[in-house]
Amino acid sequence: MEGAAMPAGVVAAAAAAAGAYLRIAEAPDAVLTQGAGTALALAEAFCGQRLIGRACEDVIGVGRDWQRLAQRPVSAIRGLTGLQAPGAPFVLPVDAYAVDIDADGNGWVRVTTPGAAMRVAVSYTAGLAAAWDALPEPVAQGVTLLAAHLFEHREGSAAPPAAVAALWRPFRRMRL
């Protein structure tokens, strides 16, 4: 599984929100920006889903069974590329596979006619929102609080505010 890194603009927006929360008048410095990036990564890990939509790619085996994509919530499955052991990758025709996105945002792929492919690379987009401003307010507030906490407690001596987990808990998706 591969995916694009968190967009720099989103990290900058989160850092600006944390700076406003801390009442810092000047532009966020490197420490606050790094804290915002860390807070976003921790929010994604806690919630079990991508917060900001970005490109992903999973390499899966071919088979007629439905296979779930690793990231969620999936907003679009762009296509499949066949991978063969000795040879160049090739684009699978649309009628060689089936895709589905369920109500929970899980992406599913089934390869019906793999041709020479031994595995396939699935390119898709996954994320809860398209930009920082489109995130649900509790998620954004939790990121802001955690980034501010990381900035204020650079020595790592204090536990993060309990409100962060409380804000994120409704957005937590776990796979069993």
Cβ-contact 54, 125 below 8 angstroms: yes
Cβ-contact 22, 148 below 8 angstroms: yes
Q: What is the pLDDT of residues 121-159, one digit of tens each?
A: 999 999 999 999 999 999 999 999 999 999 999 887 788
Q: What is residue 63's predicted lDDT score, i.e. its pLDDT? A: 84
Domain ranges of the chain: 2-51+132-171, 54-126
Q: What is the pLDDT of residues 27-57, one digit of tens each?
A: 779 999 999 999 999 999 999 999 999 999 9
Q: What is residue 153's predicted lDDT score, i.e. its pLDDT? A: 92
Q: What is residue 4's predicted lDDT score, i.e. its pLDDT? A: 76
Q: What is the pTM assigned to this prediction? A: 0.87
Q: Which helix (H) or strand (E) holds 173?
A: none
Q: How far is CA 97 from CA 105, 113, 140, in A?
A: 19, 7, 37
